Amino acid sequence: MSDKISRRQFVKTGVGAGVAAAVVRSKPARAVVVSSQNGNEFKNGGPRTAVHEAYFRIERGEDVLDAILAGLNILELDPTEDSVGYGGIPNADGVVQLDSCVMHGPKKRAGGVAAIEGVKTPSLVAKAVMETTDHHLLVGYGAQWFARRMGFTIEDDLNTDHSRKLWLEWKRRIDPGHYLDPEKRVTAGDRAREAMLAEGLLSRDRFCGTIHMNAINAQGAICGATTTSGLSFKIPGRVGDSPILGAGNYVDGDVGACGSTGRGEANLYGLSSFLVVEEMRRGAHPKDAIAEALRRIKANTVEKRLLKPDGTPIFDVKFYAMNVHGEHAGMAMYAGTEPKYAVCDEAGPRSVAMDGLLPGKPAE
């Protein structure tokens, strides 16, 4: 068979490429906001949930990223939302360390902070990194030092009574006799977390603690942001996928946006949000693009400790994606968790069921 392609094949290929390009260039006729489910749960005493607040601000003409951050700030400042910001579940030493990343599609700029302490709204510090530095990521004490000089209030402790109580319960379970050898300590910590999940003291949705939100306006400007308190009772200094470009958050203003919640280490390994956007660049619908990322995570999970007896992952990961049409989707690793994601458009704020790649639940 000849290696040369026929004229018909060439024309078909060219048409396909043109369609893909048209997918990238076309613009939505409406504003849309999507986020993880907690974006439609908390109001912190105000009139609107996070996705509703973001949509409200976009509709009155605010910059898309500013609107997203106003929505995220509702959760970051809500002491009852223990997966982000103030009152987020602390690390193994009882200290709340926060991560965040912002990306502005039209400006093609980004900023992030990781393991920052004392600032209730790390997403706003991430924006300040984007706007006032030549860097994408500041971490730890350096991030706090920067925030202080940008005028942010530095709190002595971001724990609430609730988050401190959870940490004390976890500590009591893992360290009744003080020091354990490292292997036993890690095993004890994992067992304590699972027991607290089973008893309902921790929510599995909050266990990895994150909100991602992306949004687009009627002119096609698309942005995204992620903010989190990270894995419950993590090793101090641990940073997951949330503040890392291409992992917990990725935006290409000509293509679309994607972000994630769930096991950050699994997402980091494959830079899965970047992968989802690249699949959309090739013309895939957001749901199909997410499915490819989830399949990649499943294939890359080979360590026995991370696998159920049937060979599937013991953890969940969820993605939220949108292309420049305003088409969007959410999808989880597991359908049995009855996953949902939050949406707000002209029809108002609501929670939408999303499919899972696999049946059942993690850690069954």
Determine which one of 13, 80, 153, 187 is catalytic. Answer: 187
Distances from the Cα of 294 to the Cα of 47, 123, 167, 193, angstroms: 36, 26, 31, 25
From CA 55, how far away is CA 245, in angstroms rounded? 24
Spell out the residues 6+ positions from residue 23 whose beta carbon is closer than 8 angstroms to its own.
280, 283, 323, 324, 325
CA atoms within 13 A on the CB side of 122: 36
* CB contact burial 241-260 (16+ within 10 A = b; e otherwise): bbbbbbbbbbbbbbbbbbbb
* Structural contact between residues 297 and 333, judged by C-beta atoms closer than 8 angstroms: yes
DSSP 63: -
Cα gap 74→171, rounded to integer Å? 29
80 catalytic per annotation: no
Share of the chain residues as helix, strand and coil, in percent rounded to the nearest 5: 40, 20, 40
Residue 312: DSSP 8-state: S
Placement of tokens 């292997």 in the chain: 183
How far is 106 from 222, CA to CA, in rounded Å? 7
Identify the residue whose tokens are 């992968």: 275
Locate all alpha helices (DSSP H) within the chain, ordered by sequence: 7-25, 50-59, 64-76, 122-132, 140-149, 161-174, 182-198, 204-207, 264-270, 272-281, 286-300
Q: Do 75 and 85 form a contact (C-beta atoms < 8 A)?
A: yes
Q: C-alpha angle with apex 142: 136 to 226, nearest 5 degrees?
A: 45
- Give the Cα-Cα-Cα angle 271, 276, 282 (nearest 5 degrees): 125
End-to-end Cα spacing for the chain: 51
Residues annotated as catalytic (active site), given as ranges: 187
